[in-house]
Each structure stands twice: as structure tokens, then as C-alpha cells.
Amino acid sequence: MSATANRGEWSSRTGFILAAAGSAIGLGNIWRFPYAAGENGGGAFVLIYLLFVVLIGVPVLLAELSIGREAEKNPVGAFKALVPDKFWPYVGGLGVMTGFGILAFYSVIAGWTLSYLFSALSGDFGTAITAAESGAIFTELIGNPFKAILLTASFLLLTILVVRGGVSGGIERATKILMPLLFLILVILAVRAVTLPGAMQGLEYLFKPDFSKLTTGVVMSALGQALFSMSLGMGAMITYGSYFPKSENIHFAGASVAVFDTLIAILAGVIIFPALFTAGVEPDAGPGLVFVVLPTIFNTLPAGSFFAVAFYALLAIAALTSTISLLEVVVSYFVDERGWNRSKAAWLLGGACLVLAVPSALAQGGNDYLTSFLGEGLDFLSVQNIIWGNYSLSLGALLICVFVGWRWGTTKAIASLEVGGFKLPAAGLWVILIRYVCPLAVAVILAFIIYTQQYL
């Protein structure tokens, strides 16, 4: 067997699109996007986020895929394989660490979705529920330290079990049918939401930019959100690109992932903001936003209990396909570079992640110190979300641009993207974006953050 056959490969392009879309689509779209938009004043944030998806997200996605495809390695090994320098593998190392850091808070939120699934199954969302009641349910759940930790552990366990199974056996099979179903449910909920009494107000909040609300912090969050949502800046797409069949069109696949991912985030916004204004919840309610708001609309739908169950089941699965990719990056490093066996790596690293997840699990009321870690609205979980999800990903993306644009070289990257005979459309534009526009934009934003000290 060749080395490639040993590492596994996606069985088809659709397999890749679904698995990469599975990584991209997750709580980032449905939980994080509305929460970030709500905290950052709505429309102006959303506009900048969209701009960043096109100008930074898509070019960086292609850069990561080109690296992974050429090197056929995990992020650390990939940099090692492409250039002899000592420095670059550390960028891969930063990615592996970031994956671990994100997984440690992401699995907490993912655990909440499990709990909501159980509540939905027991019919809790079939009857009318006000925002206050919904908020009380949420507070009760996440404030219970035992429950929060147990749910996080359960979610990590599910992730470990899939990652242990390897690339196409575990990951691909899990995503194939379920992502399209999630999309369908979201469309149904969106149709419901835009006919609610607060719809106009919600849509205006989401789409009408109020530039007076624009600060360096808002721009930073929009950048972080664009990267986080597309799973960029930490090597997930390097790893996934490394499993991509040589006979298929990788840039088309990448572009499809970007489109699906962004559509789902916008759909989530179209559901949440009308519902939020209808129910009278503040947009900046923080990490609990989606969990408090959504239960108020299920009962206004015919067959509301059914939709609630379907929605939380699919959300949990969407989260799982993302946690799989997070753990996969870490595991593939230990398997490829350190010679661990896959099963041992999945168990040990997943277990270690649980340890780091505990303080985040206790940060929503379970423990007072962690709940107001750095002050009002800056609980331990939110701080992790900002450090790993905004700063670490931005730094990673910046370094990846410099690597592809200036060190490894765009000619080689384009050749890697065009393997299989598929010409990269607008290759000249991509070169300008990856060499100049993206790294400069990210560097300027990071510099401004340091200068204005709007870190959090």
C-alpha cells in the first residue's frame, strides 16, 4: 500500500465537500454568528463579516487546501515537507494548539445542544414558552456544574469515537445525509421567523449597517468570525485538503464550502433576530443567546415539538462534524509526526481536552469566579472563544498567507490547486489577495487592536 492509501482519502469530491462543509458548518454559524452579531451591533458587523469571507476567507481557504494537497500531511508535517526552514512547522504547531483550545470550549456549547435535544424529546418546547421561562431553563441547565461537565464529556466521547474510526469510515459517513437536512430545517424556521411580529426590526438589525457602531473590536470580531466559521487559520483545511483525491477539482469544492457556510450563518441570523425582537431578548445576551431565543418560536410552528427535536438533533450533528475536524487536526499530528496509533491519540488527546474544558463548562454560573472571569460579559468561556477563535486564528491566517505568498510561493500553490487539470479561475486575483491584501488587512487589524487596546 502507498503512503496515501495508509492515510486514507475521501471517497469522492462530494465526500470531501460534505466533510469539509461539515467542519465549516457548525456552532460557528448557528451559535457564534448570531451571538457575535448581537454583541457587535448587527448590520455593520455582518457587512464586514461578508466582506472578509470573500476577500480573506476564500483566498486563505484555497491557500490551506493547496498546502494540504501538496504535502499530504497534518499542519506541522505539511510545512516541514514543503520547505526546509525551522520556523514554519511552528505555525503548524500553533494550529494544532489552536484546534485543541477551540475544542475545549466548543465541546461545552455542543454539550448544551445535547441537553436541548433531550428537552425537545421530552416535549418541553411543544408548549408556549416566554423568553423569561426559556432563560430560566437555560440558566438552570448551564449553571449546574455536574450537568455541564457531564454533557461536555459526553460530546467529547462522541467525537473521540468517530475520530478513532479514521477518515472516510467515520467522518464521511456521518455527514453525507445530515447536512442537507439541517439546511432544510433552517429554511423552514427562517420562513417562520420572517412572519413573526418582530421580523422587520430583526431584519433591520441584521442587515442595516449602523456605522456609528463600528470600532476596531467590531472589525476584529468580524475577521475572527469569518475565519472561525470556515475553519481557517489553524490547519483544519490543510488536513482535510491532504485527503482530497488528485483527480478532482479542489477549488470548486472549496468555493462550494464557502458558499454553504455563509448561507447557513445568514439563515441562522434571519431566524434568530426576528425571534429575538419578538420575544424581547437583548441582542447582546452573550453565549446563551440562541439557546434562550429559539425555544420561544418552536411552539408557534405547526408540529413544533417535531421541529424542535429535528433542529437540536441536527445542530448536535453539525457540531459533531466540526469537533471531529478539530480533534482530527490534533490527532493527525500525533499520528503522522509522533507515530502514535490513531486510537491511542484520539483517547488521550480527547481526554486531555476535557480537562481544559472543565473551567469553560463552569463559566456560565457553575462557578462565580469563572463566570465573571475578566469582568462583565467576559466569562472564562467567552475569553477562550476570543483568544483562540479570534486572535489565534487571525495570526494563523496571516502566517499562512505569508507562507504561501512569499515563502513557498503562489506558483507552486496554484500548481497544487490545479492538479487534475482544473484551471484556477482568477488565479491572478488570488495571487494579489494572498500576497498583499489578506496579510496586510489582517496585520493592520491586529496592529490596531494592540494600539487601541480593545482586546476583548
Residues that bind ligand PHE (CB under 6 A): 23-24, 26-29, 102, 228-229, 231, 234, 236, 322, 325-326
Nearer to ligand PHE among residue 292 and residue 326 (C-beta): 326
Q: How far is the CB of 178 from ligand PHE (least distance, A)?
A: 14
Nearer to ligand PHE among residue 230 and residue 424 (C-beta): 230
Instruction: Name the residue among 12, 18, 15, 3 with its Cα closest to residue 257.
Output: 18
Q: Is 315 helix (H, G, I), strand (E, B) or coil?
A: helix
Q: How far is the CB of 230 from ligand PHE (least distance, A)?
A: 6
Q: How far is the CB of 408 from ligand PHE (least distance, A)?
A: 22
Cβ neighbours of residue 136 closer than 8 Å, sequence gap 6 or more: none
Among all chains, which residue has been given the C-alpha cell 476584529? 220
Nearer to ligand PHE among residue 231 and residue 416 (C-beta): 231
Q: How far is the CB of 107 from ligand PHE (least distance, A)?
A: 11
Q: How far is the CB of 1 from ligand PHE (least distance, A)?
A: 29
Distance CA 358, CA 267 (A): 31
The amino acid occupying position 432 is: I
Nearer to ligand PHE among residue 37 and residue 234 (C-beta): 234
Q: How far is the CB of 92 from ligand PHE (least distance, A)?
A: 14
Distance CA 40, CA 215 (A): 9
Label residue 368 exposed, middle or buried (CB < 10 Å: 0-12, 13-18, 19+). Answer: exposed
Nearer to ligand PHE among residue 22 and residue 77 (C-beta): 22
Instruction: Name the residue among 72, 60, 76 with its Cα closest to residue 242.
Output: 72
The full DSSP string for 155-173 is HHHHHHHHHHT-IIIIIIH
Cβ neighbours of residue 355 closer than 8 Å, sequence gap 6 or more: none
Would residue 150 be called left, alpha or beta, if left means φ above 0 and alpha means ψ between -120 and 50 degrees? alpha
Nearer to ligand PHE among residue 64 and residue 124 (C-beta): 64
Nearer to ligand PHE among residue 44 and residue 234 (C-beta): 234
Helix/strand/coil percent split, the chain, to 5: 80, 0, 20
- Cα torsion through 329, 332, 334, 336, rounded to 10: -140
Q: For residue 301, what is the DSSP state? A: S
- If one counts every other C-beta atom within 10 angstroms of the C-beta of residue 341, the result is 10
Nearer to ligand PHE among residue 227 and residue 297 (C-beta): 227
Q: How far is the CB of 232 from ligand PHE (least distance, A)?
A: 7
Q: How far is the CB of 100 from ligand PHE (least distance, A)?
A: 11
